Amino acid sequence: MNQDFISRLEDILETEQILQNEPMDRHTTFRIGGPADLFVVPSDKEQVRKIVQICREEGMPYYIIGNGSNLLVSDKGYRGVVIQLYTRMYGIYPDGDKICAQAGASLAKIAAAALKEGLTGFEFAAGIPGTLGGACIMNAGAYGGEMKDVLEEITVLTKEGEISTISRENLDMGYRTSAAAKNGCTVLEAVIKLEKGDKEAIQKKMEELKEKRISKQPLEYPSAGSTFKRPKGYFAGKLIQDAGLRGCRIGGAMVSEKHCGFVINAGGATAADVDALIRHISEKVKEHAGVTLEPEVKRLGEF
């Protein structure tokens, strides 16, 4: 990695915020991935803006992540800069019936903060393993709730490198998409608007949803959550099961026997294993049901 480039980053970041040849299996929920040339952990939105500006000026590839919950990183790693928001940009600030939070804050911790404040409406997100930034980009949802139901506004870094705010009426959120995603924006922080509720009722609902997840999802294995988007009129897990793929395995990657919508790291899986299994599933479901499955998992690096 070019030392002049690193020196420019050192002008705005502390030494401990810049890691070289960082193994990405430490930073993805799949527990898979080779080294990133540089791995940087900004503390605030202005640092993110400056890092991206430097990368663009120097022609350096970069990729922004939260906690890597929806990411498959190549075994060869990533030739560029991974900008991770999870380690330092995790602030959560309740304010009346609203919660302001940085993009790296986990949805589980935001839900816990809402419970503490007696705010209802965010229970659906308590068990989603991702961070706020990614959840806003993809309109994450579960058990009848979606981010579009609770977002007041989001602050983003535009593809032109400017920090801007998008209000609720302009979020344009749909199934696994948003205006921010369509326009190539990176979410930096968001304001969530909830309602006053009964703490006992909120906690009870969170516990009920947690039990549902534990009983139906393979949470004991590393994975990236649901591997495929839901095809219109179908359920991906049911299509995969009907194609006879329950327990199907390539190397250490396996279709979960508990929930066929999950590809799991059953032990020692490589990114190549997971990628091959995802492609195999897609082919078999297309052959069996005539339905094209679209992966929800993002690939990073060379495959």
Q: Give me 14's structure tokens.
A: 């502390």
Residues tagged active-site: 176, 226, 296
